[in-house]
Amino acid sequence: MAADMPTTFLGWVMFIINQYGTALLQGAGVTLLLALFGTLIGCIIGLFVGIVQTIPVTDRTNSGFKFLNKIIQFIFAAYVEIFRGTPMIVQAMVVYYGSMAVFNIDMSAMVAGFLVVSVNTGAYMAETVRGGIISVDKGQTEAAMAIGMNHIQTMYTVVLPQALRNIMPQIGNNLIINIKDTSVLNVISVTELYFVSKSAAGVYYRYFEVFFVTCVIYFIMTFTASRILRYIEHRMAGSADYQLVNDPMADPTGIFPNNSNQGGKQ
């Protein structure tokens, strides 16, 4: 049987693809699933935390609300600092094994993986959202408040649409990071791409060839994701060539090149 084994690097690469190609693609699918849904849920968590962290508190604010807001701010600050200050691989171990040891919850590896990726991403996105909200000119918030909007209405209609465009690159970065960082979930036996690759490499002890193929698969996933996100960013930015509507009030002169014929008829 040894005589049938490949003897060159390219031969081993083709052999690995032939033998484990399907398993590697399935592992890549699990990686994408964890990264996409983890990033999506993490963005929702980060959006909520970021909005709450920017709730304005003034001297006229009710004292009871001030006290409650301080407690919530402390909890959210602790959440952000803990999950940004500890490695995801450690978080995976704590969540997966701690859920049974402390809460007697028999959590599957996939559920633990989703939870870790989502909560970890949420901690990073909370600071990103907060920074995006702060980056919007304060005068727009004051103007919205002046016409009677509350904090939620101001966030939803005025601030967040602009902040979201500003933080889109960071959302894309988090997705790409999650595609790569899901590899740490192999420590709790999540069958993502790295876990499958490690298993395949251990059969024939051809680590270089197997992980060369794995590297190519990771690159294809991250490169494709970055191109798609770059396209979305471009679409959100809109056209660089804007044209005013044909409203005389929009131009002090009342002269529009496209309306010259219409003006003659009138």
Closest CA to 175 of 243, 109, 244, 128: 128
b/e 99-137 (16+ beta carbons within 10 angstroms → b): beeeeeeebebbebbbbbbbbbbbbbbbbbbbebbeebe
Q: What is the mean pLDDT of the chain?
A: 85
* Banded pLDDT at 35 (limits 50, 70, 90): very high
Say how many CA atoms lie within 13 Å of 21 toward its Cβ: 7
Q: What is the pLDDT of residues 195-235, one digit of tens each?
A: 999 999 999 899 999 999 999 999 999 999 999 988 888 87
Q: For residue 3, is pLDDT > 80?
A: no
d(CA 84, CA 187): 20
Q: 151 pLDDT exceeds 80?
A: no
Position 5 pLDDT exceeds 50: yes
Which domains does the chain show, CATH number per domain? 29-265 (1.10.3720.10)
